[in-house]
């Protein structure tokens, strides 16, 4: 039963991250998830200092607010300070992460609260944190319920806002011309990324969250030119990595998160080599050598 809960947790995280990661890749902002996952540390510490509790709800609220602040700062530096997007991402998340480490070491040094829980997590511990009622009834791991709600919210967000998200990702100028607020949908997308990252990193760790945000969407991008198909393939690749990564970790007696991330990289490598549309090996086979007569014919047509 523990294997079921672990794989289900990985699949839920993969679903949320893969769907949102497709939009991040199209916007060339794939590393925003990495920035948010590091920058939320001060929010976690501040939430603990204000409440004196390590309960999930205050931690999620504090980290979520810092995630939104991170996206606002990235956009502010990029738009008003004329800093390139990658540079604004790097400056923002390193600055906020450093502030979190300082707050942690000064005010919460004696508490079981450290940056390792944010970065690495441990998906194997998911079955141990059960939701048990006062009457003794168990509903399973709390993390699964939290991620299940987040997954439903992300699916609802994408279904209801598919047209707006699609247009603002592919052609923001046209979207603005027909009255769609590109800024509002940008911040809505970043808020969804923040919610997913914050809800996921406690169980699977920030490193695996980043791998799921980037790896499956990048793999799907190599396999298709249809965006809806890309969304579906991305989710399937993430879920497959959760299954295969778990059993790979059991076989090797190693880290589950590390095994899942490794399998994600293996999926991308296969797509990179053998994709029918963009695979480097298949593309080379399709290229036929041009003889002198063919080149002369091409020259005549162009002239």
Please check whether residue 150 lies inside any domain of the structure: yes
Cα gap 49→82, rounded to integer Å: 35
Instruction: Specify the pLDDT at position 296.
Output: 47
CB 216, CB 267: distance < 8 Å = yes
Q: What's the pLDDT score for residue 233?
A: 93
User: Looking at the domain assignment, is residue 284 inside a domain?
Assistant: yes
In a domain, 303, yes or no: no
Q: What is the CATH number of the domain that holds 56?
A: 1.10.3470.10
pLDDT at position 290: 47
Residue 295 lies in a domain: no
Return phi, psi of residue 287, to 5°.
-80, 120
Classify residue 198: in a domain, yes or no: yes
| Structural domain contains residue 296 | no
Question: What domain range includes position 281?
Answer: 2-127+138-288
pTM for this entry: 0.81
Is residue 298 included in any domain, yes or no? no
H or E, element range at 55? none
The pLDDT assigned to 110 comes to: 56
Radius of gyration of the chain (CA): 22
Asked whether residue 67 is assigned to any structural domain, the reply reads yes
pLDDT in tens, 161-192: 888 888 888 888 888 888 888 888 888 888 88
Number of domains in the chain: 1
Q: Which residues of the chain have a pLDDT value below 50?
A: 290-292, 294-303
| pLDDT value for 284 | 60
| Burial class for 50, CB neighbours closer than 10 Å (0-12, 13-18, 19+) | exposed
Q: Are 34 and 11 in contact (CB under 8 A)?
A: no
């Amino acid at each position: 039963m523990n294997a079921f809960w672990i794989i289900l947790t990985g699949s839920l995280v993969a679903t949320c991250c893969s769907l949102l990661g497709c939009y991040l890749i199209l916007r060339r902002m794939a590393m925003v998830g990495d920035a948010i996952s590091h920058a939320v540390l001060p929010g976690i510490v501040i939430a603990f200092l204000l409440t004196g509790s390590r309960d999930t709800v205050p931690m999620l609220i504090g980290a979520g607010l810092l995630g939104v602040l991170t996206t606002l700062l990235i956009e502010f530096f990029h738009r008003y300070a004329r800093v390139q997007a990658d540079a604004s991402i790097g400056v923002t998340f390193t600055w906020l992460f450093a502030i979190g480490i300082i707050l942690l070491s000064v005010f919460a040094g004696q508490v079981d609260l450290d940056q390792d829980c944010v970065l690495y997590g441990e998906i194997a511990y998911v079955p141990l944190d059960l939701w048990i009622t006062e009457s003794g009834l168990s509903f399973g791991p709390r993390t699964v319920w939290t991620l299940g709600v987040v997954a439903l919210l992300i699916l609802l967000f994408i279904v209801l806002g598919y047209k707006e998200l699609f247009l603002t990702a592919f052609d923001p100028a046209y979207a603005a011309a027909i009255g769609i607020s590109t800024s509002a949908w940008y911040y809505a997308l970043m808020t969804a990324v923040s919610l997913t990252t914050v809800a996921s990193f406690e169980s699977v760790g920030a490193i695996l969250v980043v791998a799921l945000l980037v790896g499956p969407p990048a793999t799907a991008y190599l396999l298709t030119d249809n965006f809806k198909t890309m969304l579906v393939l991305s989710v399937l690749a993430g879920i497959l990595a959760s299954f295969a990564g778990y059993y790979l970790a059991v076989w090797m007696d190693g880290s589950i998160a590390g095994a899942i991330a490794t399998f994600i990289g293996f999926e991308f490598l296969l797509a990179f080599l053998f994709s029918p549309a963009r695979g480097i090996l298949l593309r080379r086979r399709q290229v036929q050598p041009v003889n002198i007569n063919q080149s002369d014919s091409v020259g005549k047509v162009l002239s």
